[in-house]
């Protein structure tokens, strides 16, 4: 793979000697994670989306959840010891993370934010996350990812999902 194809996320994984595979799909603009997973033949429960939220304290956080599920903002806030969190506006994603909508990943951002991965990932040997740009997914070990970014696992999805 040529250097020009590497994203910040891939460089981070290379530097930390974390094995990963790249999945590429054709897309010129944002499409939702379910559509991406279906296009690549990835199981929905193994394909995670990255959501960025701002806490009452002003700190930012990343939450990774399966693409077909919803984030429980109360559980998410409790997980990061905040009174409340709210998702950032789409127009602010690039300014805050350095990534664009549909290409946002918890690794290689401008600043490493506290990251919480839904605990269903603990049962997966590998899962899929954004590769740092639209059209690219990365398949890697959830545990190795969480260890490398000093994140954690927790139950952060809406009840009944």
What span, in angstroms and rounded, lies between the C-alpha atoms of 121 and 119?
5
Per-residue pLDDT of the chain (161 residues; tens, 9 = 90+): 444 578 999 999 999 999 999 998 887 777 789 999 998 999 999 999 999 999 999 999 999 999 999 999 999 999 999 999 999 999 999 999 999 988 899 999 989 999 999 999 999 999 999 999 989 999 999 999 999 999 999 999 998 75
What is residue 3's predicted lDDT score, i.e. its pLDDT?
45
H helices within 16-126, ranges in order? 33-40, 73-79, 93-97
Which residue shows structure tokens 């995670």?
48
What is residue 2's predicted lDDT score, i.e. its pLDDT?
44
Residue 106 burial class via C-beta count within 10 angstroms: exposed 0-12, middle 13-18, buried 19 and up: buried
What span, in angstroms and rounded, lies between the C-alpha atoms of 130 and 124?
17
- The full set of domains in the chain, from first to last, is 3-151 (3.90.960.10)
Indicate the pTM of the whole model.
0.93
What is residue 147's predicted lDDT score, i.e. its pLDDT?
95
Six-digit token string for 114: 């506290």
What is residue 161's predicted lDDT score, i.e. its pLDDT?
59
């Amino acid at each position: 793979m040529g250097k020009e194809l590497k994203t910040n996320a891939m460089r981070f994984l290379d530097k930390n000697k974390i094995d990963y595979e790249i999945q590429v799909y054709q897309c010129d603009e944002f499409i939702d994670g379910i559509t991406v997973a279906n296009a690549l033949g990835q199981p929905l429960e193994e394909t995670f989306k990255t959501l960025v939220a701002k806490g009452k304290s002003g700190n930012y956080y990343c939450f990774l959840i399966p693409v077909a599920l919803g984030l429980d903002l109360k559980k998410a806030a409790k997980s990061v010891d905040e009174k409340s969190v709210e998702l950032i506006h789409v127009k602010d994603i690039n300014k805050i993370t350095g990534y664009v909508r549909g290409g946002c990943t918890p690794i290689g951002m401008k600043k490493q934010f506290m990251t919480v991965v839904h605990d269903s990932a603990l049962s997966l040997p590998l899962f899929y996350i954004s590769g740092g740009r639209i059209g690219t997914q990365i398949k890697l070990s959830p545990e190795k990812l969480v260890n490398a970014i000093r994140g954690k696992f927790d139950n952060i999805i809406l009840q009944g999902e």
